[in-house]
Amino acid sequence: MIRHVLIGLMAAAVLAHSAAAAETPPIAARLAAASSENGEKIFKRCHACHSNEKDGPHVSGPNLWGIVGRPIASAEGFDKYSAALRATGGDWTPERLDAFLTDPHEDIHGTRMPFIGLEKPQARADLIAYLNLSSDSPLDLSVGTGAPEPEEPPEFGVLFAAEGVEETFAYCSACHSERLVAQQGLTRRAWIELIAWMVDEQGMAEIEEPDHSRVIDYLSTHYNTDRPNFPNR
């Protein structure tokens, strides 16, 4: 009986995954409607580990200037690639980036990148469209130029919705669940010291102003020692 139930659940999961895959438009169609402006906002989740300026520094991850179209694991001067990524081969085409950004650990088993992925297909296309602009020779992706209104309000998980939540969610959820943030209760000074430690010891990129102040203001207001907004209600 239990065996039959398990088989049924597995079959249902496979069908659900297949249906979701069938409903996802191809990357070319999503790029045609992509908003690089929205992609720039999404990139804030990547900036904790990557820069994307020309001749920018490597952080815990490689600089992403020219990432679209270049060979995988080929950033000059970056020597922290995992063996799994080095063995992958091929180029970072839009299709390849789309697959990797969906779920990095599922796509390339053994990757060291802590990012959990982007579930929404259009968000991935928007990010790829933005990254494509970080190049001396951007590819012709037939990217749309508009900035469509989001179909849904932004999601910040369990974080309290208030000024600064967007920046806080972007930087913190790049490497771990926002729930970890919500479980903390620190003074303003402790939050500043924690972020400085992450930059100095964990390879996180510095959060530039005005984002740094907005993140600190948000955390010290809503997740201070008395944790006024935990749990989120």
- Examine residue 138 and state whether it is found in any structural domain, yes or no: no
> Which pLDDT belongs to residue 77?
94
**49 plus 95 within the same structural domain:** yes
The helix/strand/coil state of 37 is helix
Same domain, 172 and 217: yes
* Burial track 184-220 (b if 16+ CB lie within 10 A, e otherwise): eebeeeebbeebeebeeeeebbebeeebeebbbbbbb
Same domain for 75 and 129, yes or no, is yes
In a domain, 122, yes or no: yes
Q: For residue 188, what are the CA distances in angstroms to 49, 167, 170, 192, 223?
A: 24, 17, 19, 6, 9
Give residue 8's pLDDT band: very low, low, confident or very high (50, 70, 90): very low
Identify which has the larger pLDDT, 153 or 222.
222
Highest mean pLDDT: which of 89-103, 132-146, 150-164? Answer: 89-103
In tens, the pLDDT along 173-216 reads: 777 778 888 888 899 999 999 999 988 887 777 888 898 999 99
Question: What CATH number does residue 187 fall under?
Answer: 1.10.760
**Does residue 190 lie within any of the structural domains?**
yes
> Roughly how many angstroms between the first and final C-alpha of the chain, as a whole number?
40
User: Do 170 and 126 reside in the same domain of the chain?
Assistant: no
pLDDT score, position 206: 82
From CA 186, how far away is CA 183, in angstroms rounded? 10
43 and 84 share one domain = yes
Boundary residue ending a domain (133, 148, 177): 133
Read off the pLDDT of each residue in 109-132 and give the average, rounded to a whole number. Answer: 92
Range of weakest confidence among 11-15, 175-179, 216-220: 11-15
pTM above 0.75, yes or no: no
**How does residue 15 score in pLDDT terms, banded at 50, 70 and 90?**
very low
Do residues 37 and 115 both lie within one domain? yes
CB of 154 closer than 8 Å to CB of 64: no
| Separation between Cα atoms, residue 28 and residue 95, nearest integer Å | 8
Query: Residue 49: what pLDDT?
Result: 87
Distances from the Cα of 161 to the Cα of 55, 129, 136, 221, angstroms: 36, 28, 39, 12
| Residue at 127 is within a domain | yes
* CATH, residue 92: 1.10.760.10
- Let me know if residue 14 belongs to a domain: no
Domain that holds residue 192: 165-222
In-domain check, residue 65: yes
Q: Are residues 124 and 178 both part of a single domain?
A: no
Report how many domains make up the chain: 2
CA distance linking residue 39 with residue 34, whole number of Å = 8
Residue 111 counted as domain residue: yes
In a domain, 103, yes or no: yes
In a shared domain, residues 171 and 127:
no
